[in-house]
Amino acid sequence: MPVIRLALAQMNAVVGGFAQNVETLGRFRTLAASAGADLVLTPELSLTGYPPEDLLLKEGFIEATRVALIEMSLLQNVPPVLVGTVVGEGLDGVELAPSSDARDVIRAASVDVDPHIGNALVVLSDAGVVATATKRLLPNYDVFDEQRYFHPGVGPQTIVNVKGVAVGLLICEDVWTRNGPAVELARQGATLLLVANASPFARGRREDREAMLRERALETNCPIAYVNLVGGQDELVFDGQSMVVNAQGDVVARAKAFSEELLVCDIEARASSAGVPLDTTYARDEDRLTALHVNRVADPPSPIEEIYEALVMGTRDYLRKNGFRSAILGLSGGVDSSLVATIAVDAVGARAVHGFAMPSRYSSEHSVADAADLAARLDIELTTLPIEPAHEAFGTILGEVLEGGPTGLTDENLQSRIRGVLLMGISNATGAIVLTTGNKSEMATGYSTLYGDSAGGFAVIKDVPKTLVYELCRYRNQVAASVGDPEPIPEKVLTKAPSAELRPDQRDDQSLPPYEQLDPLLQLYVEDDATAASMIDDGHDPALVLRITRLVDLSEYKRRQMPPGVRISKKAFGRDRRMPITSAFRPESM
């Protein structure tokens, strides 16, 4: 049977960053040439970045994709490439010769362009655009909103013939459906399937993908190559983990998680004459072929390692792609701020992270000491800013309108807001981004202060339940210990009772049930969409269920005002879960 050497370009694209993406794609194509590859497969919308969202509706954006595609065609002595991009009706059939002036070709292609656009794979060689495949199935669930922007591909699906192998082209959702586009390609004669993807990370997603690819391979009797984006984009993180499975569904090549990589694989497939011929000859320099590892199968990370790496990459790329060179955060000596500080250091380095301890009259000595210990272990700068003078001043001012001054919850929230004001003031003066430290358990139940601990630019652990916070801390300490480094998070932080320390002897379990009880209920209600009635029927305490579900519903207005944060679950607050703030629906009363 024929063998194709395929290069899967697992790249970190920048949304709207055409110059950066063209450069990255060119670098991967050049590396693929040095490996003697016949063809390069890139991720979904690799040229535009994913998801471009309403940029697709901006004047000039579609034109910019055409300019970028022309620029890609100028690279010589490299293998043909399958470019993830967007196309309008007017692009089909346009030849992109290397000698062409890009703007002239674009002007010609822009005549009578359909106002609707397609999510596409463009097959680009030295001869120009050889073929174009458009996405058939447009997801409109979870974080996906593609029916807002794209029209589905129609007509015969695209097959190109490479060295006697019929290569069928698919885009992400197309491969997930039984008896769908993948099967239709096999019916048309395809003997190898290539899939371009922008599949965001979520817990358990790698296992889902591998199970699906095995099912499609067995269904079509075709090997399948699956390339995925890597990198952070707002709250989404793409984990890469591109892979190739044989016709029996066994993984024969896998790229590393959370890392840019060119995965080179020799794929054996059945011979077929179907498809548009694609010339894969180019000026290979046999003396310069690199010794890239072919058909490498990287070990997948453990579930806890995946989550930690997702948080690090999401934080790093949010700062890097938005131009932030440094980060600041409040260090309370608690477990949440300790984890966020550790992730930030792993993401951007200790020199770029600055912690601020802001003790109040209620802060314990051990919490201040724990914050200092953490900062020393992480080698980050720590500044202490006591908030007592501001606390007293605000108390005096509020005493003019509140009899007896601020008390109870008002006084607790006041302390949090003073800290938020200080951090945002420092951010304004220095340009550093404020990292908030609230976790998913707190955000779900409203156990946070608007314009206080929620004030900032990026919520690193926004999608991390409190019990998982502890797991991640212990995991990171174990990683350090395994290589002989000091454990970054002090053991005292992990063993003391969690507390906001906004009143004497305060503990979280005075306001919320123990997190070991709370987090499973939140998992059911928020992520699994269970009803209060079904949770009670399953044996959970009725009073506790009704209390927690009510807290979640009432706190929607707070969550709408929270900064973005890394998504690690299959249903995070934000893009996934879109609940109305104003709602009279109370399912527990039915």
CA distances from 82 to 8, 143, 266, 355 (A): 10, 25, 17, 45
Of 58, 71, 95, 135, which residue is the catalytic one? 135
pLDDT at residue 500 in the model: 65
pLDDT at residue 294 in the model: 87
Annotated catalytic residue 44: yes
204 exposure class (CB count in 10 Å sphere: 0-12, 13-18, 19+): exposed
Annotated catalytic residue 286: no
Separation CA 517–CA 509 (nearest Å): 11
**What rounded mean pLDDT belongs to the chain?**
90
Q: Within the chain, which residue ranges are assigned CATH 3.40.50.620?
A: 304-512
Query: If you search the block for the tokens 């550790």, which residue do you land on?
Result: 342
Separation CA 494–CA 471 (nearest Å): 10
Q: Within the chain, which residue ranges are assigned CATH 3.60.110.10?
A: 3-300
Amino acid at 77: N
**CA end-to-end span of the chain, whole Å?**
64
Of 71, 146, 172, 466, which residue is the catalytic one? 172
Query: Residue 2: what are its φ and ψ, rounded to 5°?
Result: -65, 155
pLDDT tens digits along 209-241: 999 999 999 999 999 999 999 999 999 999 999
Rounded percentage of the chain residues whose pLDDT exceeds 70: 93
Instruction: Tokens for 504, please give them.
Output: 């004497």
Of 44, 210, 501, 527, which residue is the catalytic one? 44
pLDDT at residue 551 in the model: 94
pLDDT tens digits along 448-471: 899 999 999 999 999 999 999 999
Lowest-pLDDT range, 30-44, 102-116, 271-285, 382-396? Answer: 102-116
Give the contacts of 33 (CB within 8 A, at least 6 positions apart).
77, 78, 79, 282, 284
Count of Cβ atoms closer than 10 Å to residue 406 Cβ: 19
Separation CA 311–CA 305 (nearest Å): 10
304-512: what fold? Rossmann fold (3.40.50)
Instruction: Provide DSSP, 170-226.
Output: EEGGGGTSTTSHHHHHHHTT-SEEEEEE--B--TTHHHHHHHHHHHHHHHHT--EEE
pLDDT tens digits along 165-181: 999 999 999 999 999 99
CATH of 3-300, one of 3.40.50.300, 3.40.50.2300, 3.60.110.10, 3.20.20.190: 3.60.110.10
Annotated catalytic residue 135: yes
**Inter-residue contact 132 to 158 (CB < 8 Å):** yes
Which of helix, strand or coil describes residue 562? coil
